[in-house]
């Protein structure tokens, strides 16, 4: 897991955390049927924070970030994203979703559209950006993730790493203020993990607010300003990465770290 080392050290100077609250989760509970997946989650994320969420599988970490753009519904408590509370009101949900970008484990690119069309679809149809402008923005972000030359290919013709970078570019085209990453590298070969992580590092260097579910502890050490450890649907421990890795407090965290490091 920790075998992937990044080539250059992330430049932490630009990663400033402001005191503006980006996401506020208070007393949130969620059940799948009778199964209590998330229990009393309290979490405040400030703008510019890079949070890595770690934990064993089934601990609810993916469910937690999927609640933030309401791909999953919570039953109790509050989730406030950028001042908008997530309720069953679809208008609020759509508003939050257009502010929050999400990158999935399996990329979820649209296979029937070209790379460029994947990137321009939401800006054109949700933000009502003129096509030309949307294409310029898309090319800008495709250059940033270093695959502008693939713009007119279809997702099926790209490697996994390239697809994931396109997925990141697609999210960025909506100019989100917050990015959620749901195990973005878990479906990739080791060499491709690196190219995706480097894209994420450069994103962090620009001050993007990021919540990232990942097993890449190298990335956590390099980029995160906070690591959250979850188990059985609860936040067990959270700390700065240095403290978290060198001086874990709870037994559960110690066990987890000893297994993956």
> How many residues interact with other proteins (rule CB under 8 A)?
29
* Min dist. Cβ of residue 23 to other proteins (A): 15
Contact 1, 57 (CB under 8 A): no
97 makes contact with other proteins (CB under 8 A): yes
Binding residues among 198-217 for other proteins as defined by CB under 8 A? none
Nearest CA-CA partner of 225 in 242, 247, 213: 242
Task: Tell which residue, 226, 216, 125, 122, has the closest CA to residue 175.
Answer: 122
Lookup result for tokens 């753009």: 69
DSSP 95-106: HHHHHEEEE-TT
**CA 13 to each of CA 5, 18, 242: distance values in angstroms, whole numbers, following the listed order:** 20, 13, 17
Residue 127 main-chain phi, psi, to 5 deg: -90, -10
Query: 35 pairs with which residues across the strands?
Result: 32
Closer residue to other proteins (CB): 156 or 190:
156
- Choices 50-58, 151-159, 220-228, 233-241; region in contact with other proteins by CB under 8 A: 151-159
Window 98 to 117, contacts with other proteins (CB under 8 A)? 98, 100-102, 104, 106-112
Residue in the block written with tokens 């909506």: 174
For Cα atoms 142, 148, 153, give the angle at the middle one, nearest 5 degrees: 105
Q: Which is nearer to other proteins, 46 or 154 (CB)?
A: 154
Which residue number, 32 or 110, has a Cβ lying nearer to other proteins?
110
Could you say which DSSP state residue 57 is in? T
Which string of x and - marks every residue 36-75 that binds other proteins (by CB under 8 A)? ---------------------------------x-x----
Selected range binding other proteins among 7-15, 76-84, 154-162, 226-234, rule: CB under 8 A: 154-162
Can you tell me which of 30, 74, 170, 226 binds other proteins, judged by CB under 8 A? 170
159 lies in the site for other proteins, by CB under 8 A:
no
List interacting residues with other proteins (CB under 8 A). Answer: 69, 71, 90, 94-95, 97-98, 100-102, 104, 106-112, 121-122, 125-126, 154-157, 170-171, 174
């Amino acid at each position: 897991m920790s075998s992937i080392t990044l080539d250059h050290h992330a430049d932490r100077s630009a990663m400033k955390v402001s005191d503006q609250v980006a996401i506020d989760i208070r007393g949130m509970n969620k059940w799948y049927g009778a199964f209590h997946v998330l229990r009393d989650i309290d979490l405040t994320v400030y703008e510019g924070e890079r949070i890595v969420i770690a934990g064993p599988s089934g601990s609810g970490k993916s469910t937690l970030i999927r609640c933030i753009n309401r791909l999953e519904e919570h039953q109790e408590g509050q989730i406030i994203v950028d001042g908008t509370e997530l309720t069953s009101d679809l208008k609020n949900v759509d508003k939050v979703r257009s502010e929050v970008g999400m990158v999935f484990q399996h990329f979820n690119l649209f296979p029937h559209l070209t790379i460029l069309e994947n990137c321009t679809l939401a800006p054109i149809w949700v933000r009502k950006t003129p096509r030309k402008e949307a294409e310029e923005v898309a090319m800008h972000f495709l250059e940033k993730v270093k695959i502008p030359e693939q713009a007119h290919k279809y997702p099926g013709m790209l490697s996994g790493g390239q697809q994931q970078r396109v997925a990141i570019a697609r999210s960025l085209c909506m100019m989100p203020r917050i990015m959620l990453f749901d195990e973005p590298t878990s479906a990739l070969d080791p060499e491709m993990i690196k190219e995706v992580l480097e894209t994420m590092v450069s994103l962090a260097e620009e001050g993007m607010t990021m919540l990232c579910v990942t097993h890449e502890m190298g990335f956590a050490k390099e980029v995160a300003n906070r690591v959250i450890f979850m188990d059985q649907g609860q936040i067990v421990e959270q700390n700065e990465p240095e403290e978290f890795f060198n001086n874990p407090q709870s037994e559960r965290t110690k066990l987890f770290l000893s297994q993956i490091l």
